[in-house]
């Protein structure tokens, strides 16, 4: 389409802000309302699944209204070039911000609370995002976050956009139940957000490697949570990234805790796990992935060395009485196995204002 022609007799297309496999996002000028917007243009390739995802993104965003979400202004899927008009977020992606180095605890609390609040709004309407990751989080000039790209979003217990034997998402942020092909609930978004916040704090991705390697790695070991973090934040991240979906807090609880208004007694003792059981489970998932085709998106960053293992108490000592000696506090060491680093993936995306 020529840049000189108005799209839908209204939008004058400008520079390309970002491109993806099925769409590109361009800055545009709405000549009717005299404002700058972002236009997401879908490229037809004959793949009906991609077309359905684009339509799904439009319909999903149209039902949502929250300061932490990118707003949809207009859309048309009937023409030769289906498009969606979005709020223009001038700034960068969270992935760009992390590339500049780790973020402070206070900054991560603020960012995490805003994102968790946006996810709570999404979950309250029965929607699961399924692809929470740094490149899908836009930061404006004041570093206020917006969650974008709902192309993989799905209603809880709603119709699938993929085959039952496919896993859709980004390998490094998949929840364990997504890797195993289990039931998808809002807990998968909480898990991914936990990994995103941990990445903000450390400056590196927790699970590196190729698609299957990164996806299966979380079944070998839990994320490494630094012992230099405030106890309440470390405890929350441990819960958010629990292997068990039932142990994770809701997005609303995460937002309250990150703001300092959540329940102070939220405890997440680190469970004892059998290395043999974990290895066997990983082998089963790996075999299933090879047999059915694990469908994931892969984004790679330069390899980082893993932080050292942490040691945390698993029980609280009780004060001794006149007739009882003080009990011995059991301690459990979580040993971190450093996984081999794989080749980098595709190059980092440039400044993004809206996601594909």
Classify domain 91-319 at the CATH superfamily level. Answer: Transferase(Phosphotransferase) domain 1 (1.10.510.10)
pLDDT digits 0-9 by tens, 190-245:
999 999 999 999 999 998 876 777 778 888 889 999 999 999 999 999 999 999 99
pLDDT digits 0-9 by tens, 248-284:
999 999 999 999 876 655 544 444 444 444 444 444 4
Residue 46 is predicted with a pLDDT of 60
Catalytic pick among 50, 96, 131, 189: 131
pLDDT digits 0-9 by tens, 123-180:
999 999 999 999 999 999 999 999 998 888 876 654 443 444 445 568 889 999 988 8
3-state secondary structure of 97: helix
* For the chain, percent of residues with pLDDT exceeding 70: 67
Q: Where are the domains of the chain?
A: 12-86, 91-319
Count Cβ atoms below 10 Å from residue 151 Cβ, excluding itself. 27
Query: Is 219 within 8 Å of 176 (Cβ atoms)?
Result: yes
Residue 131 among the catalytic residues: yes
List, in sequence order, every residue forming a beta bridge with 13; answer none if it has no partner.
Answer: 28
CATH number listed for the domain at residues 12-86: 3.30.200.20
pLDDT digits 0-9 by tens, 85-98:
999 998 999 999 99
What φ, ψ does residue 37 adopt, rounded to 5°?
-140, 175
């Amino acid at each position: 389409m020529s840049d000189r022609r108005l799209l839908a007799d209204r939008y004058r297309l400008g520079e390309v802000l970002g491109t993806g496999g099925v769409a590109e996002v361009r800055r545009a000028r709405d000549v009717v309302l005299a404002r700058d917007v972002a236009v997401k243009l879908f490229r037809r390739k004959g793949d009906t699944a991609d077309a359905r995802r684009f339509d799904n993104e439009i319909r999903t965003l149209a039902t949502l209204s929250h300061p932490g979400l990118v707003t949809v202004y207009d859309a048309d899927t009937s023409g030769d070039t289906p498009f969606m008009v979005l709020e223009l977020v001038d700034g960068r992606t969270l992935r760009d911000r992390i590339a500049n180095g780790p973020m402070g605890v206070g900054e991560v609390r603020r960012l995490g609370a805003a994102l968790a609040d946006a996810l709570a709004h999404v979950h309250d309407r029965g929607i699961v995002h399924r692809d929470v990751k740094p490149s899908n989080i836009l930061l404006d000039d004041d570093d206020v976050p917006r969650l974008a790209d709902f192309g993989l979003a799905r209603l809880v217990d709603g119709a699938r956009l993929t085959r039952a034997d496919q896993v859709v998402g980004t390998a490094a942020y998949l929840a364990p139940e997504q890797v195993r092909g289990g039931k998808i609930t809002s807990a998968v978004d909480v898990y991914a957000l936990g990994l995103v916040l941990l990445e903000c704090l450390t400056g590196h991705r927790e699970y590196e490697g190729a698609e299957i390697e990164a996806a299966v790695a979380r079944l070998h070991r839990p994320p490494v949570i630094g012992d230099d973090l405030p106890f309440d934040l470390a405890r929350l991240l441990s819960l958010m990234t629990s292997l068990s979906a039932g142990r994770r807090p809701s997005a609303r609880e995460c937002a309250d805790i990150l703001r300092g208004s959540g329940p102070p007694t939220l405890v997440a003792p680190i469970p004892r796990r059998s290395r043999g059981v974990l290895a066997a489970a990983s082998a089963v998932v790996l075999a299933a992935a090879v047999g059915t085709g694990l469908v994931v998106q892969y984004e790679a960053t330069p390899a980082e060395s893993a932080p050292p293992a942490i040691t945390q108490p698993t029980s609280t000592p009780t004060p001794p009485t006149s007739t009882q000696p003080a009990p011995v506090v059991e301690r459990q060491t979580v040993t971190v196995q450093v996984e081999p680093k794989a080749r980098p993936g595709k190059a980092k995306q440039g400044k993004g204002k809206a996601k594909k």
